[in-house]
């Protein structure tokens, strides 16, 4: 089976045309007409540990959420982790593919999955683009809960060690807006949605002032918000193929550590 055959259902679900102009989604290392050598490994990031895992599991293709190459490389001399990973992949004939902002903005993509995991109903796109696609979602919980209970649910559901959030408003949480990854740019849309909580990641100091008592903003962590990419990709591929080994990486780990 060729690489292009394997990624076809992924690109049908999340077309590359949906990726942002700054992005580098798609096949990064390898050729579309190459035959798959071994299995497929799914991860959030390409790291040296993930490539070593691919070698151990005899996988010829690694599919990640984040592209290993995001900025142009001028040399390959093992001076950085990006260079070393690309060198390792080429040396061992491992293809690298990324499904990034196209997976963020496609319908039933990243934010939708987080919403489903929290039990949200009647979800709709937070920042629509075209044909029902766009970034973020907003939906409602089946039963209103306290802010403390909501924060506890997020910690428990996504194995978050620590949550950062704006000042509590001491009111029930019913309507929840979500944007996986760095979502500070959608703060205005979150306010317009009438949400009680906006759940996202990568917020800066001043971002916690932005809600201005209209809602509570919660930073759950970038990795934690996007770990669901593995499950989404697994679902797509497992429904379409049964003739190669498909693995969820055990080495896909958060680079951010917490001292609590």
CA 164 centroid distance within chain: 19
pLDDT of residue 105: 97
Give the range among 124-133, 199-208, 221-230 with minimum mean pLDDT.
124-133
The total of other beta-carbon atoms located within 10 Å of residue 216's CB is 23
Quick check: do 3-103 and 107-221 share a fold? yes
pLDDT of residue 46: 98
- Architecture of the domain defined by 3-103: 3-Layer(aba) Sandwich (3.40)
Look at residue 76 and tell me whether its pLDDT is greater than 90: no
CA 218 centroid distance within chain: 17
Measured distance between the N- and C-terminal CA atoms of the chain, rounded to whole angstroms: 47
Closest CA to 187 of 119, 118, 197: 197
pLDDT of residue 244: 87
pLDDT of residue 152: 98
Confidence of residue 131 (pLDDT cuts 50, 70, 90): confident
Percent of the chain past pLDDT 90, that is, above it, reads 93
pLDDT of residue 258: 92
DSSP element (H, E) containing 82: helix 81-91
Q: Where are the domains of the chain?
A: 3-103, 107-221
Tell me which fold the domain 107-221 belongs to. 3.40.1390
pLDDT of residue 260: 84
pLDDT digit string, tens, across residues 49-71: 999 999 999 999 999 999 999 98
Instruction: Average the pLDDT over 200-212 and give the result.
Output: 97
Task: Give Cα separations from 243 to 61, 147, 174 (angstroms).
Answer: 14, 46, 44
pLDDT digit string, tens, across residues 156-186: 999 999 999 999 999 999 999 999 999 999 9
Look at residue 36 and tell me whether its pLDDT is greater than 90: yes
pLDDT of residue 74: 86
pLDDT of residue 102: 98
Q: What is the pTM for the complete model shown?
A: 0.96
Helix (H, G, I), strand (E, B) or coil at 19: coil
Mean pLDDT of all residues in the chain? 96
Could you tell me where the DSSP H helices lie in 118-214?
147-158, 187-192
């Amino acid at each position: 089976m060729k690489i292009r055959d394997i990624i076809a259902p992924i690109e049908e679900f999340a077309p590359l045309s949906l990726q942002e102009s700054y992005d580098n989604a798609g096949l990064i290392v390898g050729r579309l007409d190459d035959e798959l050598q071994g299995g497929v490994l799914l991860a959030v990031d390409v790291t040296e540990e993930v490539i070593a895992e691919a070698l151990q599991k005899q996988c010829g293709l690694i599919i990640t959420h984040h592209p290993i190459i995001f900025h142009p490389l001028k040399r390959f001399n093992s001076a950085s982790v990006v260079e070393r990973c690309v060198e390792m992949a080429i040396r061992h004939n491992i293809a690298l593919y990324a499904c990034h902002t196209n997976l963020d903005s496609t319908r039933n993509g990243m934010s939708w999955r987080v919403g489903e995991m929290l039990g949200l109903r009647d979800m709709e796109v937070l920042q629509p683009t075209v044909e029902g696609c766009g970034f973020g979602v907003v939906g409602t919980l089946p039963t209103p809960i306290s802010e403390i209970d909501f924060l506890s649910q997020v910690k428990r559901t996504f194995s978050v060690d620590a949550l950062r959030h704006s000042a509590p408003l001491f009111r029930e949480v019913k309507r929840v807006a979500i944007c996986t990854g760095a979502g500070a740019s959608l703060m205005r849309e979150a306010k317009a949605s009438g949400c009680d909580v906006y759940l996202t990641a990568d917020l800066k100091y001043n971002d916690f002032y932005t809600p201005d008592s209209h809602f509570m903003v919660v930073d759950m962590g970038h990795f934690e918000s996007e770990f669901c990419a593995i499950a989404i990709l697994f679902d797509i591929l497992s429904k379409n193929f049964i003739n190669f080994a498909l693995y969820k990486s055990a080495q896909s780990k958060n680079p951010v550590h917490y001292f609590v």
